[in-house]
Amino acid sequence: MAAMGSGLFSVASKITDSGGKPPAKHGALPASVDTRGIRTKSVSSRGLVKTNAQAPSKINGTRVGVMDGLKIDDDFTSSPPPRTFINQLPDWSMLLAAITTIFLAAEKQWMMLDWKPKRPDMLTDPFGLGSIVQNGMVFRQNFSIRSYEIGADRTASVETLMNHLQETALNHVKNAGLLGDGFGSTPEMCKKKLIWVVTKMQVMVDRYPTWGDVVQVDTWVAPSGKNGMRRDWLLRDYNTGEILTRATSCWVMMNKKTRKLSKLPDEVRAEIGNYFVDTPPIVDEDSRRLPKLTDSNADYIRTGLTPRWSDLDINQHVNNVKYVGWILESAPLPVVESHELASMTLEYRRECTRDSVLDSLTSVIGNGLGDLATFGQVECQHLLRLKDGAEIVKGRTEWRPKRSYRIGSFGQLPAEST
């Protein structure tokens, strides 16, 4: 081993001696590197040999390989190979591997997710956009009852149903291509600064849907007198076809600037006349006169009701659905706790603005509240008025004993394992 070491170092010493420079001291920069750290043209410190350099032929009697004909370039530099089109291309194998990894991970996550709905009815109209059916005369839209739309009775509130009716009415106008810059106003109505206002609403509820139910709402329009329009709704259970709610309403024109009622212009009649159907109202008209309700004959009074900013619609008056909630604010609690609203008739007298302060009055007709346990049906009269006594809405409600509603699998918690 000593002979081999001396042989190798002898070659290195010859190369160093050929340069005529002494070896660098330990810790000093090599002679082939300038002060900027850039290697100059010379032989590297790894002891590269020139062509025909001879190694010792024998070491301890054993022949070693002779590197004959090995040509080493004297001009050794650290510069990279020249840039060509080929070596500038990306490493496609690495890019393909990365894309494959991403797709495999996404596929794994997709397979882990149970994306299919638990019930087939959830596939129906998943976005709730609705469509025009029956030769363009009826608009149909489906709604899924959400958890925030049910109340203490575990059923959808009457205000939820009223909102669904209103939504289908507006979408009907929109899908027919008649929606202008207003709350259900047509283009000709917008030109003349006209809006629709409801004058009467009748609602009959046969059964209230529960959380997770899918309801199907049909709506259509018909003429009402010389200057009005009637709109009807039919709400069914999507799965069974059972009729849940029927409603009919009457609407007239109001000038948006003067806030006064207006006649139906011929231009507007031409826009909407093709969508009128010649059918009787889906709910027979309740022509019973609503008696005058005052502080003296009212059983329950709730005062100081004021609209919030969120209660206003885009026409800057209180949405008619909000009136229903205010009317029920004065409904007797024993009736609300033991009964459910079966029907409702509302007559709208004037609009309510954001600065209004209202009172809600209710009286119980008939035998009163003393025998609710034995007398099933309860009828109430209602009045919503301003502080100065001006009537906003008059109404009549009928109540029936509550039924037992059961929420399906959506509301059931898994049994605790033992």
**Domain's final residue, options 267, 285, 303:** 285
Predicted model pTM: 0.67
Going from the C-alpha of 142 to that of each of 128, 219, 275, 411, the distances in angstroms are 6, 12, 21, 21
pLDDT at 184: 79
* Shared domain check, 197 and 67: no
Catalytic-residue membership of 250: no
Q: Which residue among 164, 171, 250, 317 is the active-site one?
A: 317
Catalytic residue check, 315: yes
**Nearest C-alpha neighbor of 237 from the set 205, 204, 213, 220:** 213
Question: Of 350, 347, 383, 320, nearest to 200 (Cα)?
Answer: 347
Residue 109 in domain:
no
Split into its structural domains, the chain has a count of: 3
Residue with tokens 């507006």: 170
Within-domain flag for 129:
yes
DSSP one-letter string for 60-80: TTEE----TT----S-B--PP
CB 246 within 8 A of CB 235: yes
Q: Which burial class, exposed, middle or buried, applies to 365 when counting CB atoms under 10 A from its CB (0-12, 13-18, 19+)?
A: middle
Per-block mean pLDDT, blocks of 10 residues, the chain (418 long) = 41 41 43 41 41 46 46 50 60 77 74 49 57 92 95 93 95 89 84 93 97 97 94 97 97 92 94 94 91 92 92 81 93 91 95 90 78 73 94 95 62 38
Q: What is the CATH number of the domain that holds 347?
A: 3.10.129.10
Report the SS3 class of residue 17: helix
Whether the CB-CB separation of 234 and 246 falls below 8 Å is answered with yes
Q: For position 8, what pLDDT does the model report?
A: 38
352 a catalytic residue: yes
406: left (phi over 0), alpha (psi -120 to 50) or beta: beta
Q: Do 142 and 267 lie in a common domain? A: yes
Quote the DSSP letter at residue 156: B
DSSP 344-398: EEEEE-S---TT--EEEEEEEESSTTTTTTT---EEEEEEEEETTS-EEEEEEEE
- The pLDDT of residue 352 is 87
List 339, 352, 380, 382, catalytic entry? 352
Domain boundary at 253, 285, 317, which? 285
Domain of 362 in residue numbering reads as 288-403
**221-259 core/surface letters (b: 16 or more CB in 10 A; e: else):** bbbbeeebbbbbbbbbbbeeeeebbbbbbbbbbbebeee
Choose the final residue of a domain: 285, 305, 327: 285
**How far apart, in whole angstroms, are the C-alpha atoms of residue 169 and residue 224?**
16
Structure tokens that stand for 45 in this block:
């410190």
Indicate whether 152 and 223 sit together in one domain: yes
**212 is a domain residue:** yes
Q: If we measure between CA atoms, which residue out of 161, 176, 179, 175 comes closest to residue 217?
A: 161
Same domain, 69 and 156: no
Q: What is the dihedral of CA 397, 398, 399, 400, to 10 degrees?
A: -160
- Within this chain, do residues 296 and 364 fall inside the same structural domain, yes or no? yes
The answer to whether residues 55 and 188 belong to one domain is no
Q: How far does the chain reach from its first CA to its final CA, in angstroms?
A: 77
- 103 within some domain: no
360 touches 408 (CB < 8 A): no
Shared domain for 156 and 223, answered yes or no, is yes
Residues 195 and 333 in one domain: no
| Residue 418: inside a domain | no
How many degrees, rounded to 5, is the angle at CA 331 between CA 214 and CA 408?
Answer: 25
| Residues 137, 272 within the same domain | yes
Does residue 297 sit in the same domain as residue 390?
A: yes
My answer on whether 372 and 275 are in the same domain is no
Residue 393 lies in a domain: yes
In a domain, 82, yes or no: no
The one catalytic residue in 163, 175, 227, 315 is 315
136 and 7 within one domain: no
Any domain includes 267: yes
Whose tokens are 């899924």? That residue is 144
